[in-house]
Amino acid sequence: MRRFWIFFILSCALLAFLSAVSLGVGLREISYADILSALFGKGVDETLRAIIFDIRLPRLVAGVFCGAMLASAGVAMQALFRNPLADPSITGVSSGAALGAALAINFGGGAFPIQISALVFGLFAAFAIWRLGRINGRLSAFSMLLAGIAINAFCGALVGFLMYSVREAGVKGFIFWTLGSLENCSWRELAGASFMGILCWFALFFNSRGLNMVMLGSDHAYLSGANVKSVQRISICAAAVMTACAVMVCGIIGFVGLVVPHICRMLTSPDNRSLLPLSAVSGACLVVFSDIVSRLVSPLDSVPIGVVTALLGAPFFLYLLRRGGGNA
Amino acid sequence: MLEVENLSFSYGSGFVLKDVNFCVGEGEFVAVLGANGAGKSTLFKIICGLEKPEGGIVRIGGRPLGGYSPSELAKTRSALMQDGEFNFDSSVLDFVLLGRYAHGGFFASKEDVNIAKTALSEVGMGGFEGRIFTRLSGGERRRVELARALCQIGGCGRRDTLLMLDEPNSNLDPKNSHCAMSAAKKFAAAKTSVLAILHDVNLASQYADKIALLKCGQIFAFGKPGDVLTSENLKLAYGAENRIFEDGGNKYAVFLKQ
């Protein structure tokens, strides 16, 4: 637990620092004194206030939210599939949600229908993984993972097809739904998604002891007294809703759900009770940092955030993997 | 403590278990022996609640297995299965503490930690608490898995509990096999009932109070080791020529080259 608290406090401090940097980065230079004045409601001009409250702050909150959701969903999926390679984007939940959004765009839906459609399809993808992963009435982690990979490929292909067939969305829409972006995040989009996402995070957290047991394997978990079916249902539903909520806000950001739980597990332990909060804060750090980098590299039209998370996360992940001897 | 009545089970057309009957009394150590495919592991899974029998009933503490919730059952019976599937880098202590799931709150209590440490000492793994489970040798892992099973029903055994072991000595050298069996025997001395599936006839002879010989899904000999372990019975059970020796009141079997 001591290691957990050290890394948790360090992650929180890093997130606070990155948040401050994120608020200061943008096309228009704004001093930190002005940012603080705007945040605390002291007299600054309306344009500055609008930039802070309507553009930069929602973008920061969206980054924190999506990072926390994706990393936590990754923790749940890796435990559930008993495979350190499972993450929301590999197991098809992200692609399912993106497909839902793409379909809603195709039918000319507004922001709300797009979000609902993303949520429904994300859950549907999770349900499909759940059903296809059952062999002789028992859930097989390996079959679920394979089913997830197939669903991911299928949904990804459909998203590509739909995006290219819609003129207005076109390539830009395709990039958003496959590589993610924090541009154009609004408080309205965030409100619904964050309510559901945070609710599911707590459901997952209170289920984390059961999730630890599932890591032993279904039979071993049952013999130790865990209600395996209930743990699996709660975890897969919570992970799917959290992923769909993140996808609604920022499209698919890959790698966060894979690399962050891995890194946190290497730094502390595989105990999901500590891994979930640490991964949530660390995931938020990775996404906020990636967003800062994407804006600094290309201030006018920021680089898709999924590109940055992968470029930053992969080398660091490989370094830790080599240092840790390749263990989970 | 454990009653198995008319138990039957089949996969498809052929039966795996047919009319199996036996009891394990309080503090009794019963070993189940039999050739590969005799139905030992299926019997183990049914008694654990992992498979449903086609006929018959299993009672633990006088209650049918179906009358227990998973958590209640876990507090009453603990089981060590053949193959562990855990592949995360947990510390040995954290891994053993998973055995306290049915007892504990959200975080492990001091009592849970003490029970886990006692269980580790029982299997000769004291001092390994901080080591990483996946980096242990096969034999060390097996002993830690046994410690988790012991930890589930308390650090030193108690009445009204059942300890079930499926080949507890797999991957263990002779010394550690005895260490594992001694730990189980100590639990039996503290009134925990023990049911162990074993391949080693001589270990069963030394530690079990009773032996059940299983052949083709049926128990054809059940009783004290001295009565059950005869050359004829072992030939019937395993289909192999053998010689029985006696030393210090225990019978030992040597199976001859075919």
Q: Assess if residue B33 is contained within a domain.
A: yes
Amino acid identity at A76:
A
What is the reported pLDDT for A167?
61
* B98/A273 touch (CB, cutoff 8 Å), yes or no: no
What is the reported pLDDT for A74?
93
The mean pLDDT of A161-171, rounded to a whole number, is 68
Binning pLDDT at 50, 70 and 90, where does residue A201 land? very high
Q: Assess if residue B165 is contained within a domain.
A: yes
Domain of residue B168, CATH code: 3.40.50.300
Q: Assess if residue B187 is contained within a domain.
A: yes
Question: Based on the number of CB atoms within 10 Å of its own CB, is A41 exposed (0-12), middle (13-18) or buried (19 or more)?
Answer: exposed
Closest chain B residue to A328 measured between Cα atoms? Answer: B88
* A328/B73 touch (CB, cutoff 8 Å), yes or no: no
Q: Assess if residue B42 is contained within a domain.
A: yes
What is the reported pLDDT for A326?
47
Q: Which residues pair with B195 in a beta bridge?
A: B30, B164
- Residues of chain B with confidence (pLDDT) below 70: 155-157
Interface check for A267 against chain B (CB to CB < 8 A): the answer is no
Q: Is the ipTM of this complex over 0.95?
A: no
Q: Assess if residue B153 is contained within a domain.
A: no
Q: Which domain holds residue B22?
A: 2-83+160-255
What is the reported pLDDT for A45?
80
- Output the DSSP codes for A117-158: HHHHHHHHHHHHHHHHTEETTEE-HHHHHHHHHHHHHHHHHH
Cα separation of A212 and B95, whole Å? 10
Interface check for A140 against chain B (CB to CB < 8 A): the answer is no
Does residue A172 surpass a pLDDT of 70? no
The mean pLDDT of A223-235, rounded to a whole number, is 89
* B50/A222 touch (CB, cutoff 8 Å), yes or no: yes
pLDDT digits 0-9 by tens, A111-142? 778 878 888 888 888 888 888 877 776 767 77
What is the reported pLDDT for A28?
78
Cα separation of B122 and A7, whole Å? 34
Question: Strands of B55-60's sheet, edge to edge?
Answer: B14-24, B2-11, B55-60, B63-64
Does residue A36 surpass a pLDDT of 90? no
What is the reported pLDDT for A173?
66
- Output the DSSP codes for B119-186: HHHHTT-TT-TTSBGGGS-HHHHHHHHHHHHHHHT-TT--TT-EEEEESTTTT--HHHHHHHHHHHHH
* A224/B75 touch (CB, cutoff 8 Å), yes or no: no
Residue with tokens 């399912």: A96
Structurally, what CATH architecture does the domain formed by A15-323 represent?
Answer: Orthogonal Bundle (1.10)
Q: What is the mean pLDDT of chain A?
A: 84
Binning pLDDT at 50, 70 and 90, where does residue A328 land? very low
Closest chain B residue to A228 measured between Cα atoms? Answer: B70
Residues of B within 8 A of A271 (CB-CB) are: 90, 94
Q: How many domains does chain B have?
A: 1
Count CB pairs under 8 A between chains A and B.
77
pLDDT digits 0-9 by tens, B33-51? 988 888 888 899 999 888 8
Does residue A313 surpass a pLDDT of 70? yes
Question: Which three-class secondary structure string do you get for B44-61?
Answer: HHHHHCCCCCCEEEEEEC
> Which tops the pLDDT comparison, B27 or A303?
B27
* B90/A271 touch (CB, cutoff 8 Å), yes or no: yes
Interface check for B107 against chain A (CB to CB < 8 A): the answer is yes
